[in-house]
Chains A and B, each alone.
Chain A
Amino acid sequence: MDSNAILTVKNLNVSFDGDHILRDLDFSVSKGDVLAIVGPNGAGKSVLFRTLLGLIPYSGEIEWIKDLKISYVPQKFSIDRELPLSTEEFLKFKKKSMADIVNVLKSVGIGSEHKNDSDHYMKHVKQHVLNQRLGWLSGGQLQRVLIAWALLDDPDVLLFDEPTAGIDVGGEETIYNLLKKLHGERNLTMLLISHDLNIVYKYANNVLCINKEMICYGVPATVLDPTSLAKLYGGEAGFYQHDHHGSR
């Protein structure tokens, strides 16, 4: 195994009530990696994340190096419009310092149009984001706020389950560009679950394809061949492989 590995997974198995959800996964993640995890619905991707976080019982080995700060943004995050919780209160659950909150909001591109005028920026962000109900933010804003939440305690590793679920196609690209920027700036290691193979080619240096068992693992351009894609999604999906601009 790689000596730079910050996460080593060997022979990982997860089952619920006798049903195998994940079977014999072996992979590792090195510092600075962007690992994309792909697979069809029900393949066990989110279960894998929750297992890595220690929320689900498993057999096999999951070894994170010591003193690593791991942040996680779960999937399908819908917030009731009626929920009486302001964005500021939400972020303060994680960290109380207002200065840190403002910094991290800046770095996820909230209120970026007023970036250069700090008084104006504070006023704008307070009025439109911090003092608003969390449930009133747009899909894109909410996703940025969630990324901000994940970044607030300066994590070393970010686990991101479908970063763009519920965001329109234009917005998806921006979120991924943001993740890429943050990856560079903050020396982050990222694990992303995505259903979008284009994103995998564009942003990830490693890919893990699973459908309950491991189908492929390695550099996207090499391992995502027609055979493994067919195995992953069933016959017709190999079709998408070179269609980099196509829709999903």
Chain B
Amino acid sequence: MTGSLIGLGAGYVGSFMVLRRMSLVGDALSHVALPGIAISLLININPFFGAFIALFLAILGIWFLEKRTELPSETLVGIFFTLSLALGLLLTPEPELMEALFGNISKITTLDLIITAGLVSVTIIVLRRISEGLMLGIISKELAQAIKIPIHKINFIFLILVAFIVALGLKVAGTLLMGSLVIMPAAAARNTSLSLSQYSRWSTLFGVLSAIGGILAARYFGIEPGPTIVLTAGVIFVLTLFFKHK
């Protein structure tokens, strides 16, 4: 249940991350969460909060860079995020390390489910409202500004939504694999869509299918669901290549 909700959110948020050429940022962001998880484990709070705070700080950084420079911030992102992965690896207590890296769906509590349901709904509602501005900003920043779309504000809201979804997904897919759950459904949906509405729908659907398929497969084989979710998403992506519009 929690897994499919996360797939839903990840698919939808991911659709815009792919369009904004933020695929790598998404991947790297999930690594930033690791020191946050480590600290929450050390002081014994729900790792979601630690992860979210770490992501929030990282996102402030990205937003600031995007606003101040025209550069795609990839290099800095690469350096900064690998550093935080290293830091997280050192800080995380050994027994919890595997769990933090790859997720542990059996540890999901009812509270987690409630938080997930709430935040995924908020994310979807907010993202629907800002989707037009976000899309226009992707096509042309100037065009968007000329019709008075507050593009920096919208980008900031969007990044916060990304942080929500990534932080939520950590328990299911883990820091190493959450990035791909955000990116792959969207990449697959791009193959099969002509319009934005089709694209968002497909991406969301693929996200849910990856999560459910992956969790069922994991249960069947008695393994952790993180890798099987990502593999399911990968299979969907490969299948969509056959339906790609010219």
- Rounded to whole angstroms, the CA-CA distance of A93 and B147 in the bound complex is 10
Instruction: Give residues 124-166 of A contacting B (CB, 8 Å).
Output: 131-134
Please state if B140 and A84 are interface contacts (CB–CB under 8 Å): no
Other-chain residue from B143, B145, B147, B196 in contact with A85 (beta carbon distance below 8 A): B196
Name the segment of B23-31, B71-79, B131-139 touching the other chain: B131-139
Per the 8 Å Cβ criterion, residues 142-160 of B in contact with A are 142-143, 145-147
Q: Which residues in B have their C-beta under 8 angstroms from that of A50?
A: 142
Within 8 A of B (CB), among A84-115: 84-86, 88-90, 93-94
Nearest A-chain residue to B197, judged by Cβ: A89
- Dominant secondary structure at the B interface: helix
Q: Is the CB of A86 within 8 A of B190?
A: no
- A93, B142: Cβ atoms under 8 Å? no
Q: Are A84 and B146 CB-contacts (below 8 A) given A79-B139, A89-B196, A93-B132?
A: no
Cα(A134)–Cα(B198), bound, Å: 14
Least CB distance, B157 to chain A, in whole angstroms: 18
A218 at interface by CB-CB < 8 Å: no
- How many residues of B are counted as interface, with CB atoms below 8 angstroms from the partner's CB atoms? 22
| Cβ-defined partner of B196 (8 Å) among A73, A86, A131, A132 | A86
Q: A93-B132, A93-B135 are in contact. Are A84 and B196 (CB under 8 A)?
A: yes
Task: Provide the residues of chain A in CB contact with B146, threshold 8 Å.
Answer: 53, 55, 71-72, 74
**A84 near B199: Cβ-Cβ < 8 Å:** yes
A: contact size bracket: 20 to 34
Tell me, yes or no, whether A83 is within 8 Å of chain B by CB. Answer: yes
Minimum CB–CB distance from B147 to chain A (whole Å) comes to 7
In contact, A89 and B143 (Cβ under 8 angstroms) = no
Closest chain B CB from A104 CB (angstroms): 16
B237 vs chain A, min Cβ distance (A)? 14
CB distance from A131 to the nearest CB of B (A): 7
Could you list 15 further interchain pairs (A-B, Cβ under 8 angstroms) beyond the known A84-B198, A89-B195, A90-B139? A50-B142, A55-B146, A71-B146, A72-B143, A72-B146, A74-B143, A74-B146, A84-B189, A84-B190, A84-B193, A85-B135, A93-B132, A93-B135, A131-B195, A133-B194
* B contact residues vs A (CB 8 Å cutoff): 19, 132, 135-136, 138-140, 142-143, 145-147, 189-190, 193-199, 245
